Amino acid sequence: MRVATALILLLAGCGRYEDFRLPAPKGELREAVWSWDPHPEPVIRRGPPGSFDSVDALNPSWDPLSGFSYSGWDGKVWRTGTARTSDGMRFEKSPAILIEPLAGTWEGSYIAANGASHGSIFFYQAGAPIPKIGRLDAGRQERAAAPVLEPGPRGAWDERGVGDPYIVHSDGKLYLYFLGQDRARRQRLGLAYSVDQGRTWVKYRKNPILELGEPGSFDETGLGEPAVWDQFGKWWMLYTGRDRREWRRTGLAVSTDGVHWSRVPNQPVMDVGPDGSWYSRVVCDPHVQPQPDGTVRVYFGGGDKPEPAENLNGQIGVGTLRPNRP
Confidence (pLDDT) at 81: 97
CB 237 within 8 A of CB 177: yes
- Cα(first)–Cα(last) distance of the chain, in Å? 64
| Tens-place pLDDT, residues 216-270 | 999 999 999 999 999 999 999 999 999 999 999 999 999 999 999 999 987 899 9
Residue 315 above 70 pLDDT?
yes
| Tens-place pLDDT, residues 84-119 | 999 999 999 999 999 999 999 999 999 999 999 999
Say how far apart CA 115 and CA 31 lie, in whole Å. 31
Residue 180: enclosing H or E segment and its boundaries?
A: strand 173-181
Say how far apart CA 24 and CA 35 lie, in whole Å. 25
| Tens-place pLDDT, residues 128-178 | 999 999 999 998 999 999 999 999 999 999 999 999 999 999 999 999 999
Identity of the amino acid at 205: R
Whole-number average pLDDT of the chain? 94
Residue 313 above 80 pLDDT?
yes
Q: What domains can you pick out in the chain, each with its CATH number?
A: 32-324 (2.115.10.20)
Residue 5 above 70 pLDDT?
no
Residue 1 above 80 pLDDT?
no
Neighbouring-strand partners of residue 179: 163, 189
Residue 6 above 60 pLDDT?
no
User: 293: Cβ–Cβ under 8 A, 6 or more apart, which residues?
Assistant: none
